[in-house]
Structure formats: structure tokens, C-alpha cells
Chain A
Amino acid sequence: MAVSNKDLSGVLARGQSAGHSHDENELRVAGFWIFLSTDMILFACLFATYLVLRGNTDAGPTPQQIFDVRGFTEETFILLTSSFTCGLATHAMHEGRRGGLITWLSITALLGLSFVGLEVSEFVHDVGVGATMQRSAFLSAFFTLVGTHGLHVSIGILWMISIMYQILKRGINATTARKLTIVGLYWHFLDVVWVFLFTVVYLMGVM
């Protein structure tokens, strides 16, 4: 079994002798859950906007016309897999295997990168056929919703790189373990958001 909050805090509490720094790591994980809640509301508002505006195509491109089933299928499976590999990275962390951790995290970041790449090429293609965000309210909402998720993924990739650097430099300790736990939560969360994107935007778009 892999990282759980219980394990983590147990590990952290034992390792740190000094003052309340063990609380600190635990507090940050708690704080991050709350941050995720705010991020969830952020996406909720974007989804609401999309749902309200998605019929307003202004006689321009419609969802059926621009959504490419193959493209978003690939994106979906890539992201689901990356969530899995990210889990494996935290698993390796808990076994103290730095090599495994770095390997799985690199794979996760690469999968993330190919996801972003696919999304960018999807956007470029849309723009090429005249489906720009200036064309209609539907497209404004579509690009903003999907783009915000893509931006989150991109930030996640940068974040993972920074954490890999820190783990290579300092090894797995209470601090780096906490950081990896947090970025893991972030990544799984983005996977959840994507599941809703592909359901509400893509699947319901091509229905």
C-alpha cells in the first residue's frame, strides 16, 4: 500500500525531533486539501459558464464539428495513465526507492507533456479552421475551460520538475516527501477535473 496521510504523518512525526516542524508538514497537506476545494469551485464556475453558453455558437462551429474523438480519447487515456504512474511514484517514495520515484515521476511528467502537446495541437487545429475564441460565446467558454485545465497541467509539470530536482539533491526526507505527496494530490485532482471535461464537454458535445 502506498502513501496515506496516516503513514505520512506517522513517518513525519517520528523523523522530526525539533519543535513543531512535524505539524508543519501535516498542516501543509491539510491546507492543500482546502486549496483543492477552492480550485474545484473555480472549475465549477467555468463549467457553469460553459453549460450556459455552449449552445450559443452564433452560427459558427458547433461542438460536433470541431471535437475530434480520436484526439480527446488519446488525451483521456494519457492523463489516466499519468495519474497511475504518479501514484507509483508516491508508492516508490514510501519504500524509500529514490530511483523508482524519479523514474515514475519522470514518466508522469512526460505523459503530462504529451497531453499538453496534444491539447495544443487540438487548439491549433481548431484555430486553423476558424474556431477561435473570438468567434462565439461557445468557443470562448470552451477554450477557457479546457485551457485552464491545460494551464494547471503545465504548472504541475514544472512543479514536478522542481521536486525531482530537490529529491535528487536532498534525497527523500520529511520535507521532500511532503512535497511529493502534495503534487500527487494535485495531479490526481487534475485527473478528476479532466474526467468531467471529457464527459461534459467532449462526450456530451459529440452526443
Chain B
Amino acid sequence: MLPHYWPTPVTGDPLIYGADVSIALVSIAILFVLFYYKKWGWLWREWLTTVDHKKIGILYVIAALLMLFRGGVDGLLMRTQLAQPNMHFLESEHYNQVFSTHGTIMILFVAMPFMFALFNIVIPLQIGARDVAFPYLNAISFWMFFFGALLLNISFVIGGSPDAGWVSYAPLTEKQFDPGPGENFYLMALQLSGIGSMATGINFLVTILRMRAPGMTLMRMPLLTWAVLAASIIIIYAFPALTIALALLLIDRVAGAHFFTMGHGGNPMMYTNLFWIWGHPEVYIVLLPVFGVFSEVFPAFSGKRVFGYSSMVASLMAISIVSFLLWAHHFFTMGAGPGVNTYFGIASMAIGIPTGVKVFNWMFTMYRGRIRMTMPMRWAVGFIPNFVIGGATGVMLAAAPGDYQYHNSFFLIAHFHQVLIGGTIYGSLAGMYFWWPKMFGFTLDEKRGRIAFWLWNVGFYVTFFPQYLLGLMGMTRRIYTYPPGMGWTNLNLLSTIGAFLMGLGFIYIVWDILYSTMHRSELKDVTGDPWNARSLEWSLPSPPPHYNFAVVPTVTRRDEWWELKKSGRADVLRPTAQDIEAIHMPNNSGKPIIFSVFFFIVGLGFVFEWYAVIVIGLAGVLATMLLRSVEEDTGHHIPAEEVRHEEMALGRM
């Protein structure tokens, strides 16, 4: 069969050559290090085959930071192009590709892995479990995400990136208007990572519902656990809609069907509809977990219990359900009837209520608390004004008649960056600073972190406030340049300056991580509880042993660890020699990564429409599944003696 496309490095553009060269250099450097230090075996045994939730969490963090860099560079490229009128820094097609990959990467490959990192690193520790419900599936989730992200990232250098926005609306994305493989990259990359996300949703729902330590009733769960529960519910019921939207568009493109085409009865708006059935809940998937982070951070650094626990739980659950009932507010201007727009407008405003409850609860938590301004707290406090503004502009957009003015303008851009950066990214960073010692055994340096925070925070407002005004002045999104004399020039320049400040902030965060790693002995966390915090994970050493809990704790109330510390009985959670029994743990496996590699091959096959490759890939997927099914893998036991030894070495007995 003749392939339809060949993967050729797109030529004639210094940017792409630059990308080619840097990808090649980084790959060579990594390979060199691995060979030179003979680290292959270590890499395979410790990381590529791991099913340990803590390690998988760390992999997610690394991936998210790398992708944040890539997406951030995209953002800076766009801002550079828009700094002045009539710039020729990017051509129009490249501008399209850059904003498309920027959006896609930021939502799917930065925000999502940050959330999954939180899920993985914190949840089992926080509920007193030794791993997630399905550790093997958890590894599959990560590798599917990883290869999805890889697929999207290589598109730039082999064949061209998607160029129809992160929403990839039909009919623009139909073969007729967008013949290259770029859109196929988008469709397959999201499909692969989407499978992983769905599996993560199922995994953590079951983990939280079924694996909690004895005594931890639902209403004793920490709020982050509640938030992850709520987010998992959204993942489970929202992601199938994305799967279908992408699959149908792919069928249109490769099989010539007519779901979303202009002719033969297709209806492009149905794509928009399906996309947002997933898309709106998705924004809450990347938001609820950081609500959970803030609900841990504010009490910890205010020295108080969280204000209004039950209302926090109720609002999380309310948001998780209501978030499914709002999707059409993303296409008010599509022309559905007034009944539709009225309902979706009012419902969208209503979701501000549970969100508002949470903001007030956080502020009441701080009220008259003994506040410690640490790094996690700084990001958390920075979040509040951001989110209030983002929510307010959201309500403005939700007023359907008003949205006819704001829709697809820079006002919209400013709104969702306000909530996504100000909410998701601030929250992820708060979480990263907070649980970093739990992951690696040392805290991150305050001083550098403070500089990073202020660069970022100031940069943020300087970038996005001008964009609200630009939107109101009529500047639409997704334009690659604009003429002088519109009155937009100065504000655009200001916005670009802000963007570079944020870029500097990011560099400082990376520098903070490197600096702290070099000085890790001074920053070492010897207590396991560097923040004097409240939930069970802080009762463990940092980093916790492979099996987490030598003896599974029994929980009698909310904030068990905090209460025990307060009454001077923290020792209750230390294991005693006679309580320790052999611990059953899952085995590592190479199959998740191999399985995902085959899926990657399927993805490549669809991208270039090489049917033989698709068949080979699918055969591999099926074979790996069958092999797994007949394999007898019941895990292994760590003997009690070994556990005792390890706890002794950790100074816990």
C-alpha cells in the first residue's frame, strides 16, 4: 500500500531547523549519559518498569515541567510576533501551528500531568494505602500519556504540527481544508493520552473508595482526597466524549465519512458540541485537584483547621456534577435557539456559587490564623485574587448576549489564562513546593523561590491585564499580526514584556530546583514533616519507603496526624516490631511501556495513513494484552524481617 505522506522535516525554516538540532542534541546527550554511566539497567528497573505510585508521580512531574517549558516557548514566540504591528518573526502558518500546539500542550500535557502527579504522589499516602488499586494500570496510564505527548511533540519536525487551534474545530480540520498529517498528529496524540487519563480516573476512584486505611470514613478524608475523588468522577464521565469527538473526526479524515463535513449532510457543529461536552468538565478536571491543594496548604500554614469542611466537600461534589451541565457556553454564538443560550448562560453563572463558597472558606481559614509565608503559601495566596478576577470575567462571558462581543477576542484569552494559570498552574506549583520534600527528601530553597514567585506573579498581571483591554478594543484571538494605528500597539508590547517576565520566573523555578538539588544536604528534611502539616503522609519519613506504611494506620478523626501531634502522641503512628508483618506488593512490569509503544506505532500509522503499520501496532497491542491476561502475576511479599530492618534504618523503631 502506498503511504499518503512521508515524514519529512519541514524545510526552509530556521525555527524548525533549530528544533531539529536541539532535539537531536538533547537525545544524543541523554543516550551518551546512559551509555557512559551504564545506566540502562538502572533506568529500566527503577523507572521504565516501575509500578510504584511515588515514582510514577515523579515521572509525571518531570514530564509536566518539560512540557511547560515547551509550551512556554511557544507562548513567548507568539508574544514576540505580536509585540509590534506587522512583524515578520513568524509566518502565518507557523503562527497557527504555534498557538495550536501551545494550547494543546498546556492543557493536555502540562495541566493534566501536574494533576496526575498530585494524584499519584499524595493520594495513597494520604489515605494510608500502600499503592493504588491497580498499580499495573497506573503504569499503563503514564506511558500512554507519555507516548501521546511524544507524538504531538515530534509533529513539529516530522510532517508539520496541527494548526487548527487546541479545539481543532471542523470543518476547518476536515481533509478538504487541512490535508497534511498535522491534524492526525493532534487526533492520535489526544486519543492515546486520553486512554491513559480515563484509566487514571477509574484507578483513583476505586483507590479512594476502596483502599482507605481503617477508620478513615469518607467525612474524615483530607480535602485533597475529596478533590481528587471529584476530579476522577469528572474524568470518567467526560473523557469518553472526547474519545468520540476525536474518533469521528479521524474517521472523516481517513475514511472519508461525513460526520462533520460541509457536504453530504455532515454537521460541523456536532464536533463543537461533542468537544465541549468533554471540554468544559475538563477545565474542572485541572482545577478541582488544585482546590484540594489549597485546602491543604491554607490550613497547614495558618495553623488552623480548614474552615467549613462539609461545605468544602459539598461544593466539590456540586461542581463535579454541575460542570457537566454547562458545555454550550463555549458556543453561544453558534446560533442555537434562545432557550439553549438562556439555560446555559444561567447555569454557567450558577457554578460561580460553589466556587465562591470555597474562596470564602479559604479566606476564613487564614482569618486570625498564625500565618507562615512559605513558598507553597505564597503561591496559594497569589491564587486568590487571580481566581476572583477569573471568576468574575467568566461570569461576564457567561452572559450570552455579552459573549457575542467577547467571544474569540483577547478578553476570552485573558479570562482563561487567569483561571488556568492563576488556578491550575499556581496550584500545581504550590503543590510542588509543598510535597517536594515528601518526594525527594529535601525542601526547595525559599530565597530563589521567592524571586521566581514575584517575577511570575508580576509578569502574569502585566501579560494578561492588557489583554482584557485589547479584547474590549476589538482585537480577536488567533491573528498572527495586526496593522499599526489600531491603538493596540502599546498594550501588546506591554503584554509581551510581561510574558518575558513570566519566562524569567520559570527559569528561576528551574534554577531553584537545580540549586536546591545541589544544596540538598543543607535543605534535608529529617523529620518527614517539614511544614508541621496535618495529614497522614507527613507521618512518614521523606521520602517514604517503597511500601509506604510498615503498619497501616488506624484513623479516628479528621486531621489525625495533626491531632496526635497536638496531644503529644505522634508516636502512635510509629511501627512496633511485633506489629510488622510481611507486606504484599505488586511486581514491576515491562509490559505497560511495551504496550504503549505499540499504541504509539498505531498512532504513527494513523498519522501517515500507513495501514500496514496500524495493523502491526494493533497486533502488538492485542498480543501484549493477551500475554498479560495469561500471565500469573500475583506480586511478591516483602518479609517482615526486611521491613523491620528498613524501618530501623529509617530510625523509626
Contacts and interface: CB of A to CB of B under 8 A. Distances in A.
State if A and B touch, Cβ cutoff 8 Å: yes
Interface of A: 18-21, 23, 27-28, 30-31, 34-35, 37-39, 41-42, 44-46, 48-49, 52-53, 56-58, 133-138, 140-141, 143-144, 158, 162, 165-166, 175, 179
B394 interface: no
A129 to B, nearest CB: 17
Nearest to B585: A19
Interface in B248-307: 248, 251-252, 255-259, 261, 263-267, 270, 274, 277
5 contacts: A34-B205, A41-B240, A48-B274, A166-B629, A175-B632
B206 interface: yes
A136 B258 contact: yes
A58 B264 contact: yes
Contact of B584 (A18, A39, A53): A18
Nearest to B637: A19
B237 interface: yes
A32 to B, nearest CB: 9
Nearest to B266: A137
Contacts of A141: 259
B169 to A, nearest CB: 16
B350 interface: no
B257 A133 contact: yes
A135 B270 contact: no
Interface in B562-615: 582-584
User: Which of A23, A41, A46 has most chain B Cβ within 10 Å?
Assistant: A41
B257 A31 contact: no
Contacts of A20: 584
A21 B584 contact: yes
Contacts, number: 124
Interface string B190-234: 000000001001110110011100000000000000000000000
Those 8 A-B pairs whose CB atoms lie nearest each other, nearest first: A56-B265, A19-B584, A137-B265, A140-B257, A45-B244, A41-B240, A42-B240, A58-B265
A48 B239 CA distance: 15
A166 B630 contact: yes
Interface of B: 133-134, 198, 201-203, 205-206, 209-211, 236-237, 239-241, 243-245, 248, 251-252, 255-259, 261, 263-267, 270, 274, 277, 582-584, 622, 626, 629-630, 632, 634-635, 637
Given A38-B240, A41-B236, 8 more contacts: A30-B210, A37-B236, A45-B244, A45-B277, A49-B248, A58-B264, A162-B626, A166-B630
B226 to A, nearest CB: 18
Nearest to A59: B265
A21 B210 CA distance: 14
User: Which of A19, A34, A140, A175 has most chain B Cβ within 10 Å?
Assistant: A140
Contact of B243 (A42, A133, A138, A140): A42
Contacts of A31: 133-134, 202-203, 206
Query: Which secondary structure dominates chain B's binding surface?
Result: helix
A175 B635 CA distance: 13
A203 B261 CA distance: 27
Nearest to A165: B630
Nearest to B247: A144
A90 B242 CA distance: 35
Contact of B251 (A19, A27, A144): A144
B237 A37 contact: yes
Contacts of A18: 584, 634, 637
A34 B206 contact: yes
B35 to A, nearest CB: 39
A51 to B, nearest CB: 10
Contacts of A57: 265
Nearest to B582: A19
Nearest to A140: B257
Contacts of A41: 236-237, 240-241
Contact of B270 (A39, A49, A133): A49
User: Which of B201, B245, B265, B270 has most chain A Cβ within 10 Å?
Assistant: B265
User: Which of A20, A135, A141 has most chain B Cβ within 10 Å?
Assistant: A141
Contacts of A133: 251, 255-257
Contacts of B584: 18-21
A34 B243 contact: no
A34 B133 contact: no
A45 B240 contact: yes
Given A37-B237, A38-B198, A56 B267 contact: yes
A200 B17 CA distance: 54
Contacts of B251: 133, 140, 144
A114 B121 CA distance: 48
Contacts of B211: 27
Contacts of B635: 19, 21
A135 B264 CA distance: 7
B133 A27 contact: yes
B626 A27 contact: no
A35 B232 CA distance: 12
Contacts of A45: 240-241, 243-245, 274, 277
Nearest to B269: A52
A3 B634 CA distance: 23
A152 B372 CA distance: 55
Contacts of A49: 244, 248, 259, 270, 274
B259 A53 contact: yes
Contact of B134 (A28, A52, A136): A28
A57 to B, nearest CB: 6
B265 A53 contact: yes
Contacts of B263: 58
B266 A34 contact: no
A19 B638 CA distance: 11
Contacts of B265: 53, 56-58, 136-138
Contacts of B258: 58, 134-137, 140
Contacts of B203: 31
Contact of A34 (B236, B267, B274, B630): B236
A38 B270 contact: no
A109 to B, nearest CB: 16
A140 B259 contact: yes
A137 B259 contact: yes
Nearest to B244: A45
B438 to A, nearest CB: 24
Given A37-B236, A42-B244, A137 B630 contact: no
B630 A30 contact: no
B266 A27 contact: no
